[in-house]
Amino acid sequence: MTDKSHRTAGSRGTFRAISGRALQYICIAVALFWTVAPIYWMISTSLKSELEATRLEPTLIPESPTFGNYVRLFQGDLPFVSFFINSVITCFLAAIVSVVIAVPAAYALSRRNFRTADQTGYLVLVVRMFPMIVLLAPLYLILLNTGLLDTMFGLILGYTTFGLPFAVWMLKGFIDAVPVEIEEAARVDGYRQWEILLRIIVPLIYPGLVTTGIFVLMEAWNNLIYPLTFITSIEKQSLPAALVLTFTGQFKTDWGGMMAASAITTLPLMIAFFAVQRSMVRGLTAGSVTGT
Amino acid sequence: MGLPKRLVSAALIAFVGLSGTVHAEQVTLKFANWATAEGATRDGMEQVISAFEAENPDIKIESESIAFAEMARQLVLRLRSGNPPDVAQVAGNDTFALSSTGGLEPLQGYADKAFLDTLKPGAYEPLMVGEDLIAFPWNQAPAGLWYNKKLMEDAGLDPEDPPETIDELNEAMAAIREANPEVIVLGIDTTNRAFALQANWPWIRAFGADPVAAGGAESEEMQAYLGWLRDISEKGYIDPGRKIGEFRPLFAQDQVAFLWDQVLVQGVIQSTNGMSAEEFNAHYGVVPMPAGPGGKGYSFEGGHQLVMFRDSQHKEAAWKFMKYLATNEAAVKTYTIETNRSIPPAKSVGDPAVAELLDTPVIEAFSNDIIPTISPMPFGPEFAEYATVIMAGVQEAVTSDRPVADIASDIQNQIGN
Amino acid sequence: MPAHSKQASSRRAGGKAPFLHWMVLPTLLVLLAIIGYPVVSTVYLSFFEYNLLDFTPPEYLGLDNFAQMASDRIFWISLKNTLYYTGGTVLVSMLIGTAVALLLENLKGPVWTAVRALVVSPWAVPFVVVAFLFRFMYMQNGGIVNDILLDLGVIGNPVSWLNRADISLGAIIVANIWATTPFFFLLVSSALSGIPDAVLESARVDRAGLWSTIFHIKLPFLRNPLVVGSLLMVISNFNDFAKVWVMTQGGPGYATTTLVVYVYRMAFERFEIGYASALGLIWLLLLLLVSVFYIRLLWNRQND
């Protein structure tokens, strides 16, 4: 309810306060337009007929709104629903696998209870930075030789290349923020190390786990190169890759259909994102305030 | 739990195996293609595959859907790792790049001279590398200059007399811009994809240039070509960077006057704006490329080929399938003509229903006037590099004001011939 | 560092700390399998001439690939583009994100919650979609951006945003800023909410002005989150492929070719795996440099 900037300005004069407030609202309005306009355009275009969507004089509001583009997505020749499900499954599993494997490592790294902790920590950071695209060809061969090419499992492994080091790095930040003293009581009670991790640390950093998981999920969902390379049959393709592959076909670019598909591709990420936004906000600060 | 289950399945396999020997041994062919990776062609391709399997119960086709843009990469990686498919759909330079790996099975042993003679002249010859036929022509999709008769009329041009030289084209473009400042006057792909060099190559040739010959990239002819593009770009006739597929919906709504594009345009336009064939022919026409300063115009072959891999275990079956796809008349009707909207390579067709489909003004123009003007491409392992370098120069020419001579000498330096 | 090792050893009374801890083993094993081998093979191949198209064994070149890189005009262009792309995006998004977070800081109620949600929403838009969406909006003819600017009279003729060498990189950066700003907005918002009330209260008592409150009270609290957040975004943008690839494929000319696009073209269009590996190696070293810089920044802060 209270507005600090208003109050500080208030002591200098009502006029400045009002004009300051007006300026603030104008800036917010500009920012809002900037973020919303492209999304509006995506949805608006997705509701236009094919001819209207490609017109040289674009219409701001669809003249005769139609859900035809969406219907075609789900009734068309291509298994759009499968793309969607493929992406959901692989990205969720990649996030879960990354976080589960990363938690003990992050804990050990945070508590530095082994001699090579610093070196290991740097190693993880380095790996996190390695350009994905250069890993592509050797990874392809690994997957091929293990029979994992063109499987969801192979794709999940691929996502793990960036998900796991990222999760370790991020979770270490969260665990760093948990005071060591909290563990002491448990230690006195005779808890083993893994029990401390599971019963004390994990509940405490729960928001951090979710935040990290969502980050990995989003990076996996955004990833284009891995599914393009590791998934060879279109039925198993991820949603973003399928978007690239199927809407730039040999005949024409169908912007209406493309925007409808884009909206559908965006939707789950929006939902996942808003569902956890609260814990994410807390997690972000917890993870970043203590740094490395 | 595990053991009995395994026993049962072993018994089942043995049983199926035994009963199977009554029939001929079934072979499975892996067919990598992008026809099943795109919504517009998936259904037609699957129909043809089922029909083939019905006719050949001993052959099963395992279709692997790979996107067009990914095909070359997938095939090269799979060749390197010893896991190629049996048959693949390929196009353009990819065919030649694959052949240079040595991983393809030469086809002259399967397609004898008599069979090849049933194809149109020029259909398979470009696919010969030395003695080897590296691929089989599945369908033909050359490019011509499409024009919109209505927009020509509006500009006071005679729609029955489309430009025959690039000078005439320049005049026509000026007239259209004058009459209608809103439309895109010439739709031509100036992206930096390998396909774009294919599309631009005939124009480069029409100006008499050969940028990959010694000194060719900085020749006067090449500079004349770049200068022409710069000029029509400055006048706002073209829309740089738009992919060819992005021009087509506009062409369907009278917003592009001339379109340098393949034979499939008719099908795309009709499906976009719902015109009948008669309406289409009254509204649009297609002619060969206007003659350039060299006195001739050219075209490019944008069709698809079929290749067989050397590692295939079932080469006879693979050939049977390839031959079926390219020349079986039911397959040609369902896929080549009605789905892919391209032209079959065979000289003549027996089935009158198929012949009728091919008897249209557009296909006639392509078969009689345009296909003979196809110019060979500098395909090979270097082509991708040529494409990157030359199209980078083309893009620089149409979007910057750097002197054309400098751009040309840059191209020359990077090609290095 | 010394402080930490003291802590660690104090916790493990007696016995010497082990060389490795079993808890990091799963991570190390997975990384070894999926990254160790690819990295080793990349380093190894960077010393070879190795083209996937000719089936001859790789030819040892020594440092030739790296020498070639030094005189490779396109490598330098793509390096420069990558720096502009990453630097421009991260800096501007950070500024806008921070500013918007400060603007919305004290506005409460359902309306403002909704506004916040809208401001954050671009972050949930997948990169591929961002790329297609902006490519569509940037079209020279029929693009909404030109349409609006023409109507407003800002420009006289349609601008070919993605196809002019002088502005195409900027146009992609703008799209990228659109997608990245919400991250910083979120980061700064949460950091702001973490500032103890007592600190703000004392600033109020001291009658600190608006700007002085922001610069002297709030910004110090934002420093570390911004350092970590910008490191994350630097890495992410260095690796960003989808946006440039979908919007321009590196064109016109090489105006928007970033390292990732260049390596991709080298490796998967020209199949020059050796040279591409060498490029990748240099790239790795570059990122290491950046991260060392960041780690320093954080350490300094923590040792204060």
Mean pLDDT, residues B298-324: 95
Both B159 and B235 in a single domain?
Answer: yes
Rounded CA separation A38/A45 (Å): 10
Q: Does B102 touch chain C (CB under 8 A)?
A: yes
Contact present, C113 and A12 (Cβ < 8 Å): no
Match 């959901």 to its residue by tokens. Answer: A88
Nearest to B184 among C54, C55, C141 (CB): C141
Q: Does B25 touch chain A (CB under 8 A)?
A: no
Nearest to B101 among C53, C142, C251 (CB): C53
**Lowest-confidence range among A2-11, A17-26, B301-310, C284-293?**
A2-11
End-to-end Cα separation, chain B, in angstroms: 69
Proportion of chain A in helix, strand, coil states, percent, rounded to 5: 75, 0, 25
End-to-end Cα separation, chain A, in angstroms: 36
State percent of chain A over pLDDT 90.
Answer: 24
Contact present, B301 and B142 (Cβ < 8 Å): yes
The helix (H) or strand (E) run that includes residue B283 is helix B277-283
**Lowest-confidence range among A10-24, B136-150, B188-202, B400-414?**
A10-24
Mean pLDDT, residues A127-145: 77
pLDDT at A249: 62
Chain A 63-92, residues with CB within 8 Å of chain B CB atoms: 76-78
Q: What is the mean pLDDT of chain B?
A: 89
pLDDT at A7: 47
Is B37 close to A141, i.e. CB distance below 8 A? no
ipTM value: 0.84
pLDDT at A250: 63
pTM comes to 0.84
Place B246 in a pLDDT band, splitting at 50, 70 and 90.
confident
> In degrees rounded to 5, what are phi and psi of residue C20?
-130, 165
Helix, coil or strand: residue A275: helix
Q: How far is CA B44 from CA A265, B29, B330, B332, B353, in A?
A: 27, 19, 11, 11, 17
Q: Residue ranges per domain, chain A? A: 4-68, 73-289
Residue A138 has pLDDT above 50, yes or no: yes
pLDDT at B385: 83
Q: How far is CA B184 from CA B396, C223, C249, in A?
A: 20, 51, 23
Mean pLDDT, residues A200-210: 87
Q: Which has more pLDDT, B208 or A279?
A: B208
Residue B367 covered by a domain: no
> In degrees rounded to 5, what are phi and psi of residue A276?
-115, 10
Residue C252 has pLDDT above 50, yes or no: yes
Residue C162 has pLDDT above 60, yes or no: yes
**Looking at CA atoms only, how far is residue A164 from chain C in angstroms?**
7
Instruction: Kindly indicate whether the domain formed by A73-289 is annotated with CATH number 3.40.50.1100.
Output: no
Residue C8, Cα to own-chain centre: how many angstroms?
Answer: 34
Residue B187 covered by a domain: yes
Chain B 370-399, residues with CB within 8 Å of chain C CB atoms: 381, 384-385, 388, 391-393, 395-396, 398-399
Nearest by Cα to C272 from C283, C264, C284 = C264
Both B211 and B273 in a single domain?
Answer: yes
Rounded CA separation A103/A202 (Å): 8
Residue B45 covered by a domain: yes
Residue ranges with strand state E in B195-292: 256-262, 284-287
pLDDT at C97: 95
Which residue does chain A place closest to C175, by CA atoms? A38
Domain at B293, CATH number: 3.40.190.10
Which residues pair with residue B184 across a beta bridge? B256
Q: Which residue type, as a one-letter code, is found at position B300? A: F
Q: What is the pLDDT of residues C31-49, one digit of tens each?
A: 888 888 888 888 888 898 8
DSSP A7-70: HHHHTT-HHHHHHHHHHHHHHHHHHHHHHHHHHHHHHHHHTS-HHHHT-SS--SS-SS---HHH
Both B155 and B122 in a single domain?
Answer: no
Q: What is the pLDDT of residues B13-30, one digit of tens each?
A: 444 444 444 455 789 999
Nearest to B268 among A144, A244, A251 (CB): A251
Report residue B289 as tokens: 């490329």
Mean pLDDT, residues A271-292: 60
Q: Which residue type, as a one-letter code, is found at position B114? A: A
Residue B6 covered by a domain: no
Which residue does chain C place closest to B69, by CA atoms? C269
State percent of chain B over pLDDT 90.
Answer: 66
Mean pLDDT, residues A207-218: 86
The conformational region for residue B135 under phi > 0 = left, psi -120 to 50 = alpha, else beta, is beta
Both B292 and B309 in a single domain?
Answer: no
pLDDT at C300: 61
Beta-carbon pairs below 8 A across chains A and C: 300
pLDDT at B384: 82
pLDDT at B380: 84
Q: What is the pLDDT of residues A147-182, one digit of tens each?
A: 888 899 999 999 998 899 989 988 888 888 888 888
Mean pLDDT, residues A19-27: 88
> In degrees rounded to 5, what are phi and psi of residue A174?
-65, -40
Number of continuous H segments (helices) and E segments (strands) in chain C: 15, 2
Q: Which has more pLDDT, C206 or B167?
A: B167
Determine how many CB atoms are found less than 10 A away from the CB of residue B276: 9
Helix, coil or strand: residue B260: strand
Q: Which residue type, as a one-letter code, is found at position B193? A: R
**Which domains does chain C carry?**
61-303 (1.10.3720.10)
Of the residues C16, C23, C111, the best mutation for testing chain A's interface (the one with the most A CB atoms within 10 Å of its CB) is C23
Rounded CA separation C39/C261 (Å): 19
pLDDT at B111: 93
Place C220 in a pLDDT band, splitting at 50, 70 and 90.
confident
Q: Does B249 touch chain A (CB under 8 A)?
A: yes
Q: What is the mean pLDDT of chain C?
A: 84
The number of CA neighbours under 13 Å toward the Cβ of B211 is 38
Report residue A224 as tokens: 């284009």
| Count of structural domains within chain B | 2
Residue B406 has pLDDT above 70, yes or no: yes
> In degrees rounded to 5, what are phi and psi of residue B193?
-95, 160
Q: Does C212 touch chain A (CB under 8 A)?
A: no
**Looking at CA atoms only, how far is residue C168 from chain B in angstroms?**
10
Of the residues B184, B388, B390, B404, the best mutation for testing chain C's interface (the one with the most C CB atoms within 10 Å of its CB) is B388
pLDDT at B19: 45
pLDDT at C206: 77
Both B250 and B281 in a single domain?
Answer: yes
CB within 8 Å of A108: residues ≥ 6 apart: A114, A117, C21, C23, C24
Q: What is the pLDDT of residues C178-214, one digit of tens each?
A: 999 998 998 888 888 878 878 777 777 777 777 777 7
Residue B120 covered by a domain: yes
Ranked by mean pLDDT, which of A32-36, A128-132, C10-14, C26-30 comes out on top?
Answer: A32-36
Rounded CA separation A258/B179 (Å): 33
Rounded CA separation C27/A164 (Å): 7
CB within 8 Å of A148: residues ≥ 6 apart: A142, A154, A157
pLDDT at A112: 79
Helix, coil or strand: residue B59: strand
pLDDT at B23: 52
Both B42 and B110 in a single domain?
Answer: yes
Both B162 and B247 in a single domain?
Answer: yes
- Name the DSSP letter for residue B207: T
Residue B259 has pLDDT above 70, yes or no: yes
CA angle, corner A286, sides to A284 and A289, nearest 5? Answer: 95
Contact present, C185 and C177 (Cβ < 8 Å): no
Nearest to B192 among C52, C166, C251 (CB): C251
Q: Which has more pLDDT, C57 or A98?
A: A98
Match 């592959």 to its residue by tokens. Answer: A245
Residue A252 has pLDDT above 70, yes or no: no
Both B284 and B322 in a single domain?
Answer: no
Q: How far is CA A185 from CA A112, A178, A243, C134, in A?
A: 19, 14, 53, 56
Both B93 and B221 in a single domain?
Answer: no
Q: What is the pLDDT of residues B64-121, one digit of tens each?
A: 888 887 888 889 888 877 789 999 999 999 999 899 888 999 999 999 999 999 998 8
Give the residue numbers spanning the domain of B282. Answer: 143-300+377-415
Q: Which chains touch C (3 or more CB pairs under 8 A)?
A: A, B
Contact present, B220 and B275 (Cβ < 8 Å): no
